[in-house]
Structure 1
Amino acid sequence: MSAAKRFLPPLLSGALFGGGLSIGGMTDPARVRGFLDLFGAWDPTMAFVMGGAVIVMAIAWRLQARMARPLFGERFALPDRTDLDGQLIAGSALFGIGWGIAGLCPGPAVASLALAPTAVLPFVAAMLIGMIAHHLFPERRRALASQGS
């Protein structure tokens, strides 16, 4: 498979996703924090963005179920995890807290690099440091996970 055939679908998908995040307002931390502020100055516009994403994903799951294989790959890489553990719950809580404080999560942060790189650079740098630390210390993660169970 040529490099163009291999990289073009993910590049176009990423550009479409980033554009959707930008158009939907997900790259505006103030708007995101306004949506998460249920008992203050709540901004419901993100509910429409999320609702649209749920509808698109529901259609995609139905289409995928009828396909033998993906258009640009050998097999589907779908989540198959059905168990919940302390590490997953703690990571989800940490993600949500960070999202609420910063008003950004990884997708919108990366998309924001094209719009306002200096404003989002500290968040992206901290995110990358966290990702690197996650991969550098797998034995520490296992030790912490075993203490929680």
Structure 2
Amino acid sequence: MRRVIALIAGGLFGAGLHLSGMTDTTRVLGFLDIFGDWDPTLMFVMGGAILPMALAWRLTIGRAPATGGSFPTRPDPRLDPALLAGGLLFGIGWGLVGLCPGPAIASLSYGQTGGIVFFVSMLAGMIAAPPLRARLDSAARRA
């Protein structure tokens, strides 16, 4: 049952990304072009995602998911070097291509080469990140 709920939730998320224009790289890049031909529509998409999520975090306090397990813990609000570096890399990728992980996966349904190349590159980065992080942490401890 848990997998069925996850499949339905993932399908709704992907459909929402398509409907909101988050898989349209020209719309995303237009949003990021604040000094040019700025397209503010994605600001409403982000607001429409942030507000319900803030409410959802509040509603999970003292509760458990209906399908078992537990809700994730609240993220640490500290700004550490790893978070800043990750945010910088995310922003660079988003600004260069106009896709982030969720829309990149949803855009695979288009079958376009650019989306596939981005997805494969994203997977390569995800595979390379843990050993690179371990190596950097090890070097930092020795210093």
Q: Does 1:40 align with 2:36?
A: yes
Distance 2:68 2:136 in 1: 32
In the alignment, residue 84 of structure 2 is paired with which amino acid?
A: I
In the alignment, residue 120 of structure 2 is paired with which amino acid?
A: A
1:117 Cα deviation (Å)? 4.1
**In the alignment, what sits opposite 2:80?**
85
* Structure 2 gap segments, 5+ residues each: none
Instruction: Report 1:1-149 matches (<5 A).
Output: 5-65=1-61, 67-143=62-138, 146=140
Identity score, percent = 49
TM-score for the superposition, normalised by structure 1: 0.85
TM-score for the superposition, normalised by structure 2: 0.89
1:131 Cα deviation (Å)? 0.8
Q: 1:107-137, CA deviations, whole angstroms, 9 ceiling, x for partnerless residues?
A: 0000001123433000001001111111344
How many residue pairs get aligned? The number is: 142
CA RMSD of aligned residues (A): 1.9
* Residues 62 and 138 (structure 1), Cα distance of their counterparts in 2 relative to 1, 3 Å cut: closer
Q: 1:42-79, CA deviations, whole angstroms, 9 ceiling, x for partnerless residues?
A: 001111111111222123223223x5211112211133
